[in-house]
Amino acid sequence: MSIHRRIVLASRPTGFPTVDNFRLEEAPVPTPGEGEVLVRNHFLSLDPYMRGRMSTGKSYAEPQPLDQVMIGGTAGEVVASRHKHYAVGDRVTAMGGWQEYSLIGGSSLAMLQKVDTRQIPLSAYLGPVGMPGITAWYGLSQIIAPKPRETVIVSAAAGAVGSVVGQLAKARGCRVIGIAGGAEKCAYVVEELGFDACIDYKGAADVRALDARLAEVAPNGIDGCFENVGGMGLDAVLGRMNPFGRIAVCGMIAGYNGEPIPITNATAILRMRLKVQGFIVFEQPDTVGWAVAELSAMLASGRLRYRETIAEGLDSAPAAFLGLLQGRNVGKQLVRLV
């Protein structure tokens, strides 16, 4: 019986998580029963939503149970199958969790998906054509729904979601502004992804300083905002929104460790007749086909660019995840297992 490695949640964080909240274990590689599939995971996806699952409390999802394998998206290869729709050698994505091998059966089969890696690399199914890309597509096209020449702003612009939002908005003829942390990320966002401008929030001491930068780069105001962060950046953006602006709230990473992140500039919602809408992409299955079609076509033709930050080996996952929460990655944060 062969052995593989997996990472479980050992304890719940108070404030910012540490590597001690996780524990590396060994376990037998499972054998698929009737109707089950064994997948060898090549890549783990690390995503900000995982921080929310580490805590108890009112959220849209159940918390991650203690002492069980950390939840997470994976991409890999079928290595044993007793399910008629999957064969050894199939490339698949799944919610396989932080482990080297995943047994997929029962309800987890719903998330097991064969993917075509002839034109699109396997890891991209965890990034620009996977959950982050579909999230970007939904918030931009279904909530912000920008018209050509409108100004759209995106926070965490160098991240897996934000980078796709901006490129989709450019493809729709918008002026696109990013907000990101650090000169390197801002250069990437403008030079490689084609945004019109990018504001380094680390160079802005307070809301007033951010507001002054926004006035420079968005002289006609802001019509759409794709919000990944919350807090000071959102307050500054609210002050520059045009009438009937739309704010798609995808994340509020500024508050993921329990800090309160009030919207100080709330009266802007009324004064400017804004729509502020939170969403979770998993809940929008009807539009996934449209999203994947547009994203795949753009990616295959070179019009959708992306970067990956790759940590090597399962044991690097906790530190890589903490780095993600601190914004150390550019583009999609992955862990490579094979």
Contact footprint for a second copy (CB under 8 A): 58-60, 230, 243, 249-252, 255, 260-264, 266-267, 269-280, 283
- Under a CB-based contact definition with an 8 Å cutoff, are residues 111 and 94 in contact? yes
- Strands 332-336 and 308-312, by their bridges, are parallel
CB of 319 to a second copy, least distance (A): 26
Considering the complex, state which of residue 171 and residue 269 has its C-beta at the smaller distance from a second copy. Answer: 269
Considering the complex, state which of residue 171 and residue 261 has its C-beta at the smaller distance from a second copy. Answer: 261
Return the structure tokens found at 177: 């502004």
Cα dihedral 145, 147, 150, 155, rounded to 10, equals 20
Considering the complex, state which of residue 184 and residue 259 has its C-beta at the smaller distance from a second copy. Answer: 259
CB of 145 to a second copy, least distance (A): 14
CB of 307 to a second copy, least distance (A): 26
Considering the complex, state which of residue 247 and residue 291 has its C-beta at the smaller distance from a second copy. Answer: 247
CB of 244 to a second copy, least distance (A): 9
Considering the complex, state which of residue 164 and residue 252 has its C-beta at the smaller distance from a second copy. Answer: 252
- Strands 222-227 and 241-249, by their bridges, are parallel
CB of 317 to a second copy, least distance (A): 25
Nearest to 163 by CA among 57, 307, 296: 307
**At which residue do the structure tokens 């100080």 appear?**
264
Considering the complex, state which of residue 34 and residue 283 has its C-beta at the smaller distance from a second copy. Answer: 283
- Under a CB-based contact definition with an 8 Å cutoff, are residues 13 and 21 in contact? yes
What contacts 285, CB < 8 A, 6 or more positions away? none
Opening angle at CA 299, ends 97 and 108, nearest 5? 25
Rounded to whole angstroms, the Cα distance separating 3 from 32 reads 15
CB of 251 to a second copy, least distance (A): 7
Considering the complex, state which of residue 109 and residue 249 has its C-beta at the smaller distance from a second copy. Answer: 249
Cα dihedral 138, 141, 143, 147, rounded to 10, equals 170
Q: How long, in residues, is the chain?
A: 338
CB of 52 to a second copy, least distance (A): 8
Nearest to 214 by CA among 240, 195, 196, 247: 240
